[in-house]
A = this chain, B = another copy of it.
Amino acid sequence: MDKTERLMSLIEEEIASSVPTLSGELSAVPEMLRYSLESGGKRVRPLLCLLFCEAAGEAAEKALPFAAAVEFVHTYSLIHDDLPCMDNDDYRRGKPSSHKKFGEANALLAGDALLTHAFYLIAQGAREGRVSAEAAVGAAAELSRLCGAAGMIGGQYIDLAYENREATADVLFQQDALKTAALIEAACVMGLLAAGADEARIQAARDFALGLGMAFQITDDLLETAEEGVSSDEANGKVTYVGLLGEEEARARAKAYTNDAIRALDIFGDKADALKTLADALLRRTK
């Protein structure tokens, strides 16, 4: 088993054991949470969290409570995004979305419960001595800021606000920096906080996350356009990077963000090799 496989298996175990155990009238609730948590997500964010902890010189395992918290937040965001009043998606990764499976009200509550429980996992990690109280406070502050109104939720708000009018390139960049890069940033920074890393490393992780998140979004757009002739956003009447910038400029920006991300890892020396491999795989993908 190579290192990534080992970490992936730790992540799956941590997520599975992080679902609250409930009985009696609430006995069906954990299944609702697991349905969305275990629907084939690639666990990129928890893996980044563990790899940054390791890049700062601590055992990757130390960041496991934070890694699970990030995945709970990611999963809640997908459930709420799929709701009829948002993107109204009936399917998620080939399975009925949470509200199609359990009804809209239960899906709303499942999302609320996952978000709430993410903070329980962080706090409980400190109460059980797996991380320090200071690390937990820092992680809760980062996660709540980066997935809150000034972060991920803000990105979703901008997306909605431009449903019926055309976004500029600046707006589109801000939207994706908040919708996508912010939670990636939380994952990376929380891994470093578990390791007690210094401010210079934390700033490097923020630069890495912005580069990775933005390059990922632009690459997505380029790949969809190449394959389908038009990206799903464009088909839905939304502006896209390719549409706004042209293919050549979009490709140049994706490359610049990728380079920014990889360069930000320099401060970690060869301890960031696994992170570089992961970033490479994500950014140089062809589908």
The residues of A with any CB-CB pair to B shorter than 8 Å are: 20, 22, 24-26, 29-30, 33, 80, 83-86, 103-106, 108-109, 111-113, 115-117, 119-120, 122-124, 126-127, 133-134, 136-138, 140-141, 143-145, 147-150, 153-154, 156-158, 160-161, 171, 174-175
Contact = CB atoms under 8 A, between A and B. Distances in A.
B20 A116 contact: no
A85 B108 contact: yes
B123 A141 contact: yes
Contact of A148 (B85, B113, B127, B156): B113
A108 B22 CA distance: 26
Contact of A83 (B108, B127, B137, B141): B108
Contacts of A123: 137-138, 140-141, 144
A143 to B, nearest CB: 8
A127 B137 contact: yes
Contacts of A141: 120, 123-124, 127
A26 B149 contact: yes
B116 A153 contact: yes
Given A29-B157, A137-B137, A141-B123, A22 B150 contact: yes
A144 B150 CA distance: 21
Q: What number of copies of this chain does the assembly contain?
A: 2
A10 B148 CA distance: 25
A103 B83 CA distance: 14
Give me the 4 closest cross-chain CB pairs, A-B, nearest first: A120-B144, A123-B141, A85-B104, A133-B133
A174 B25 CA distance: 9
A30 B149 CA distance: 9
A123 B144 CA distance: 9
Given A20-B150, A123-B144, 5 more contacts: A20-B148, A26-B158, A80-B108, A113-B153, A136-B140
Contacts of A106: 157, 160
B154 A26 contact: yes
A33 B86 contact: no
A149 B80 contact: no
B116 A157 contact: no
A203 to B, nearest CB: 17
Contact of A171 (B25, B111, B158): B25
Contacts of A24: 174
B122 A153 contact: no
A141 B127 CA distance: 9
Given A80-B108, A137-B136, A148-B116, A157 B127 contact: no
B113 A85 contact: no
